A = this chain, B = another copy of it.
Amino acid sequence: MNEKVTMKDVARRAGVSAATVSNVLNNVGNRANELTQRKVLKAAKELNYQMDMTARFLSTGKSNLIGIFLPEVYEIGQPSSVLKDNPFFSEIISGIEYVARMNGYDIVVSCIKESGHVKELVSKRTLDGIAVLGNFKAEFWEELRALEIPKVLIDSYQFDEQEYSNVGIDDEQGAYLATKHLITMNHKEIALVTGKIEESEVNYYRYLGFQRAIVEENLSLEKCPVVYTDVNFKGGVAAAHSILYSHSNVTAAFAVADILALGIIKLYNQIGKAIPKDLSLIGFDDLSICQYTFPGLTTIRQDINKKGMEVANILIHRINGDTDNCNIQLPVELVLRQTVLLKQEE
Contacts and interface: CB of A to CB of B under 8 A. Distances in A.
A111 B97 contact: yes
A125 B84 contact: no
B107 A108 contact: yes
A125 B53 CA distance: 6
A293 B265 CA distance: 8
B305 A80 contact: yes
A321 interface: no
A131 to B, nearest CB: 13
A237 to B, nearest CB: 10
A225 to B, nearest CB: 24
Nearest to A75: B305
A110 B97 contact: yes
A228 interface: no
Interface in A46-61: 50-55, 57-58
Chain A interface main SS type: helix
Nearest to A106: B108
Q: Which bucket holds chain A's interface residue count?
A: 35 or more
A240 to B, nearest CB: 12
The oligomer's copy count stands at 2
A46 to B, nearest CB: 16
Nearest to A80: B94
Contacts of A259: 292
Contacts of A123: 50, 52
Contacts of A270: 294
Q: Which of A90, A109, A123 has the largest number of chain B CB atoms within 10 A?
A: A90
A83 interface: yes
Given A58-B54, A266-B294, A294-B269, A101 B94 contact: no
A63 B57 CA distance: 12
Interface in A105-144: 106-111, 113, 119-121, 123-126
A91 B82 CA distance: 10
Contacts of A79: 98
A125 B90 contact: no
23 contacts: A1-B148, A50-B119, A50-B123, A52-B58, A52-B126, A53-B124, A54-B57, A58-B58, A79-B98, A81-B97, A83-B90, A83-B94, A85-B87, A87-B87, A89-B90, A101-B111, A106-B110, A107-B108, A107-B109, A266-B292, A266-B294, A269-B294, A293-B293
Given A52-B126, A65-B108, 10 more contacts: A54-B63, A54-B125, A58-B58, A81-B94, A87-B90, A97-B109, A109-B109, A262-B292, A270-B294, A289-B289
